[in-house]
Amino acid sequence: DAGITQSPRYKITETGRQVTLMCHQTWSHSYMFWYRQDLGHGLRLIYYSAAADITDKGEVPDGYVVSRSKTENFPLTLESATRSQTSVYFCASSESRDTQYFGPGTRLTVL
Amino acid sequence: GESVGLHLPTLSVQEGDNSIINCAYSNSASDYFIWYKQESGKGPQFIIDIRSNMDKRQGQRVTVLLNKTVKHLSLQIAATQPGDSAVYFCAETSYGKLTFGQGTILTVHP
């Protein structure tokens, strides 16, 4: 049982490039979330989804786009990457929007 | 604004000792609390949760205490082991929104 996986685990890109981070969960959880984790800021919510085709903004959505055509997948796209988007990105899923289960993270560096 | 915070950013203990990690919250409407453990290079891992209608909940070697009067949450780890070394986050839920604290670094010395 894989649970929740993220890919790639590490990514280096350049300013202005488009980058997509993938998230896949095998629990059929309704809710999925994207967070970024930075020193001094803790975990901050970027976007979340309550079900397929339903998404909503979190605390720091600017510069990011999400989609959810299938329950199990929740990709996060940086349309034009900036250095300030260098961070560790975590995907999470939840059945009830209470306890969230996190993936292993993607470490993104924007040069 | 509403926030969840931690009293101690770092905690060092000897193997075998009991550890207590504290968390203060300011949102009186919070109805659900979670403790997460995050090891280096990994995602946060669920440890234990507690609802606001409870004062105490026990798991395997861990206990969470909730004091709603002073808006305080604590995580107790019994017989702390080197594998417990990690960052511990508290999180609270209010109206479906999960808010995380900054984290406490627990270091266990053999």
Asked if B84 and B68 count as a contact pair (C-beta separation under 8 A), the reply is no
Nearest to B64 by CA among B95, B10, B23, B29: B23
Q: What confidence category does residue B7 fall into, taking pLDDT thresholds of 50, 70 and 90? A: very low
Q: What confidence category does residue A72 fall into, taking pLDDT thresholds of 50, 70 and 90? A: very high
Q: Is the pLDDT of residue A1 over 70?
A: no
Question: Is B49's CB within 8 Å of A99's CB?
Answer: yes
Mean pLDDT of the region B47-76: 95
Q: How confident is the model at residue B14, as a pLDDT?
A: 96
**Pairs across A and B, CB distance < 8 A:** 36
Residue B89 to chain A, least CA–CA distance (Å): 9
CA dist., res. A26 & res. A41, Å (int):
29
Asked if A48 and A100 count as a contact pair (C-beta separation under 8 A), the reply is no
| DSSP calls for chain A | ---EEEE-SEEEE-TT--EEEEEEESS--SEEEEEEEETTTEEEEEEEEEETTEEEE-SS-TTEEE--SSTTB--EEESS--GGG-EEEEEEEESSSSS-EE---EEEEE-
- For an interface test with A, the pick among B98, B102, B104 (most A C-beta atoms closer than 10 Å) comes out as B98
Q: What confidence category does residue B27 fall into, taking pLDDT thresholds of 50, 70 and 90? A: confident
pLDDT tens-digit map of A24-60: 999 999 999 999 998 767 789 999 999 999 999 998 9
Asked if A31 and A19 count as a contact pair (C-beta separation under 8 A), the reply is no
CA dist., res. A9 & res. B41, Å (int):
10
CB-CB neighbours of A88 under 10 Å: 16
Q: What confidence category does residue A97 fall into, taking pLDDT thresholds of 50, 70 and 90? A: low
pLDDT tens-digit map of B62-90: 999 999 999 999 999 999 999 999 999 99
CA dist., res. A89 & res. A74, Å (int):
13
Asked if B40 and B104 count as a contact pair (C-beta separation under 8 A), the reply is no
Structure tokens at A40: 């001094």
Q: Map residue B24 onto helix, strand or coil.
A: strand
Residue A103 to chain B, least CA–CA distance (Å): 6
Q: Is the pLDDT of residue B6 over 90?
A: no
| Nearest-by-Cβ selection for A101 from B41, B46, B102 | B46
Q: Is the pLDDT of residue B47 over 70?
A: yes
Burial class (CB in 10 A: 0-12, 13-18, 19+), A13: middle
Please state whether beta strands B62-67 and A76-78 pair in parallel, antiparallel, or not at all (unpaired).
unpaired
A47 touches chain B (CB under 8 A): no
Q: What confidence category does residue B1 fall into, taking pLDDT thresholds of 50, 70 and 90? A: very low
